[in-house]
Structure 1
């Protein structure tokens, strides 16, 4: 038994509310259970409860045992002075406020039917991966669809926080924010933070000015990523290095320092040299990229916009001074899908939010056009009967697993609550 189960019982009145009595045998009538805010202090605020003949307005605190009041030292905390009812599973001692007045206690276990308890125990019993894995396939599609939308926008809310932080750092320049986010995305998990630092270290006004010469963009990105710090005989390398130090002097900017970019364990097409060149070519080909993206309403348009490749030098190189078989290194469809999921959708959401606009349906429609992601979490859900047909659904599943299943928040989950009905 956990307190979150008691919170669930109280919040949704999942008990016999018609015959309630305090531990001192006074009748209880609940007009309003209060607001469950999950903040410091009592569990439910502004409840309205009649105890005996007296109507009370105040807060409700919930514990497994009455004695937990003293274990948590609430008797010393002024935040608990307005508690009008102590709801517990087991009443084992009387409790008092700082002024020695007794707080009424409701022992909840007397009023909860056995089916509800059995459903909770079944839901929370240990499983191999998640608690409800054996029941997932039987959940109503209507419940799942509505819950997926909620999960999707919860995930976007989380992703929008660093976007607004970047917006402050760039003086509200959405083009600069997009550049930083794309850089992080181009670096993938291994080099993402390094690429973000590289992009953040170059004022975007310089990217704008130098975007007409792709070699200048490459020199800035390669240089600040530390890829030009060595000496090589390669003429292309020497040209980029010359441009890099010229641009540092021209704009009076300091050479950035960051951790070395990683080549190890990457497929050659994901080498940082290739990804940085593709990023440079994207901005060489498209001025005002954010303005274009903010008006796009179809995935096909995004694919068209991101049809860029690494520079010609990289057609037969993956690293400086090392020739390789010739290959035109275009951004792949699967890589563009990652950009849509991790950068374009979140920044469109944040931009609309900043302007007070509602584009929820548009974002869902866009992601419904993108192929589902392939990863261990998505595969596991699929094996239990919850299959995904689009990136919208896989993004929802990632939010579900990471923020609910992994944290045992079954009673805050629509699927868990559905299973509690039995």
Structure 2
């Protein structure tokens, strides 16, 4: 039995309220269960309870065992002097008030509805499952599920916003600089994500602002900082980039990363860090004020046009500096742009609009609903449970559900778990 579940029972009065008695036989009538206290102190504040017909306004403390009162040293804490009722699952010790009278106590297990307890056991006490409610989730009302998914999506946005706000503080609210950091991180995908973020942080963004008009200098800056220009390659383009980077390194006192930070192993050539850097170069050489442009865009078609960039002639026939390959444009694919929209563009637009008190929730949702759902093991497993993600909005919400509710067994805080328990 979890104390959190007892809080849930008390808050929603999921017990026999008409014949509630204390362990001493006193009649208990709950007028108001009180305000749930998430800080230190009693669990519910300012509750209204009649004990043998006498109205008491005070606090409620809840424990699995009544002896937990002493285990938690509440007898020494003045914050618990105003407790008027002790609610427990198992009454194993008597608790006294300051006037040496027994604290009125309810042993809740005697009054719990059988169906509520069975629903609780189905969620928490059965065999290990991928999610606690995997055998019941399809029974949840579709209207409730749709509304819960929308709330989950915005919770996920808020979580992403925390990291973005930290970057904004570090950059003195330079949204263009933060956009570059986020794009770089997501250009690295899962394997090279942290290395690309380090790359974006290895020099001041003001340097990129100065050199982005010159494609060769911009290439030299990013590839040089990534450590890819420290070898001895017999190629004119490589040699020219080396010269440009040596000049920039001396001028701006730059220190490059070790190229070993970037992984090529078991990666598709299209995801090689050299190609992703070349695409990032193409994007920033083509668009001089990228953040200002994305603020004006909500159409998926317009985003595809904005990010439709290909690499320069050298990279069209190379995946690395050393080896020539079959010619290809190596443009950003729609599926890759979708990932950038999901993980970079929308979260940053959300933070920007939130800071100005004008979040266009409808516009953000509409854009997410135009995107295809992500493909990963979590979304596939939900699909097996007949919970199909129709778009990226729903797949992002399901990721939030699994990672921050199901894994942590926060069923009592989840609208789905709440609904199943209260049936």
Query: TM-score, normalising length from structure 1?
Result: 0.94
Indicate if the aligned counterparts of 1:76 and 1:98 stay in contact, CA closer than 8 A: no
What per-residue deviation string (whole Å, max 9, x for no partner) do you get for residues 170-214 of structure 1?
Answer: 000111111100110001111111111111222222211211112
Aligned partners of 1:298 and 1:292: how far apart in 2? 12
The aligned counterpart of 1:30 is: 30
The aligned counterpart of 1:187 is: 188
Aligned partners of 2:171 and 2:314: how far apart in 1? 32
What per-residue deviation string (whole Å, max 9, x for no partner) do you get for residues 291-340 of structure 1?
Answer: 11112111111111000122221111111121111111011111111111
Aligned partners of 1:101 and 1:203: how far apart in 2? 69
SS at match of 1:175: helix
Counting only pairs closer than 5 Å after superposition, residues 92-241 of structure 1 correspond to structure 2 as 92-96=92-96, 102-124=102-124, 125-241=126-242
Aligned partners of 1:280 and 1:332: how far apart in 2? 16
Aligned partners of 2:258 and 2:34: how far apart in 1? 53
Displacement after TM superposition at 1:354 (Å): 0.9
Aligned partners of 2:12 and 2:56: how far apart in 1? 20
SS at match of 2:228: coil
The aligned counterpart of 2:353 is: 352
Aligned partners of 2:303 and 2:26: how far apart in 1? 66
The aligned counterpart of 1:274 is: 275
Aligned partners of 1:161 and 1:259: how far apart in 2? 30
Indicate if the aligned counterparts of 2:14 and 2:422 stay in contact, CA closer than 8 A: no
The aligned counterpart of 2:305 is: 304
Query: Is residue 364 of structure 1 aligned with residue 365 of structure 2?
Result: yes
What per-residue deviation string (whole Å, max 9, x for no partner) do you get for residues 209-253 of structure 1?
Answer: 211112222222222222223332222222222212211222344
What per-residue deviation string (whole Å, max 9, x for no partner) do you get for residues 374-420 of structure 1?
Answer: 11111111111111110001001001111111111112211112222
Between 16-25 and 320-329, report the one with greater CA deviation.
16-25
Indicate if the aligned counterparts of 1:219 and 1:244 stay in contact, CA closer than 8 A: yes
Q: Structure 1 residues 59, 182: CA separation in 2 closer, same or farther (over 3 Å shift)?
A: farther
The aligned counterpart of 2:376 is: 375
Displacement after TM superposition at 1:54 (Å): 5.0
Displacement after TM superposition at 1:257 (Å): 6.1
Q: Structure 1 residues 37, 369: CA separation in 2 closer, same or farther (over 3 Å shift)?
A: farther
Displacement after TM superposition at 1:99 (Å): 8.1
Aligned partners of 2:207 and 2:278: how far apart in 1? 17
Displacement after TM superposition at 1:27 (Å): 3.3
Indicate if the aligned counterparts of 1:194 and 1:259 stay in contact, CA closer than 8 A: no
Between 22-31 and 153-162, report the one with greater CA deviation.
22-31
Indicate if the aligned counterparts of 1:216 and 1:240 stay in contact, CA closer than 8 A: yes
Aligned partners of 1:24 and 1:308: how far apart in 2? 77
* RMSD value, Cα: 2.1
What per-residue deviation string (whole Å, max 9, x for no partner) do you get for residues 147-172 of structure 1?
Answer: 10011011111110000000000000
Displacement after TM superposition at 1:98 (Å): 7.5
The aligned counterpart of 2:293 is: 292
Q: Structure 1 residues 38, 241: CA separation in 2 closer, same or farther (over 3 Å shift)?
A: farther
The aligned counterpart of 1:250 is: 251
Q: Structure 1 residues 206, 120: CA separation in 2 closer, same or farther (over 3 Å shift)?
A: same
Q: Structure 1 residues 35, 294: CA separation in 2 closer, same or farther (over 3 Å shift)?
A: farther
Structure 2 gaps, min length 5? none
Q: Structure 1 residues 30, 259: CA separation in 2 closer, same or farther (over 3 Å shift)?
A: farther
Q: Structure 1 residues 344, 45: CA separation in 2 closer, same or farther (over 3 Å shift)?
A: farther
SS at match of 1:322: coil
What per-residue deviation string (whole Å, max 9, x for no partner) do you get for residues 80-112 of structure 1?
Answer: 444333211111111246886653322111221
Displacement after TM superposition at 1:255 (Å): 4.2
Between 179-188 and 207-216, report the one with greater CA deviation.
207-216
Indicate if the aligned counterparts of 1:65 and 1:92 stay in contact, CA closer than 8 A: yes
Aligned partners of 2:129 and 2:232: how far apart in 1? 54
Between 264-273 and 126-135, report the one with greater CA deviation.
126-135
Aligned partners of 1:236 and 1:337: how far apart in 2? 32
Query: TM-score, normalising length from structure 2?
Result: 0.93
Q: Structure 1 residues 319, 45: CA separation in 2 closer, same or farther (over 3 Å shift)?
A: farther
Query: Is residue 331 of structure 1 aligned with residue 332 of structure 2?
Result: yes
Q: Structure 1 residues 135, 330: CA separation in 2 closer, same or farther (over 3 Å shift)?
A: same
Counting only pairs closer than 5 Å after superposition, residues 38-117 of structure 1 correspond to structure 2 as 38-52=38-52, 55-96=55-96, 102-117=102-117
Aligned partners of 2:57 and 2:236: how far apart in 1? 79
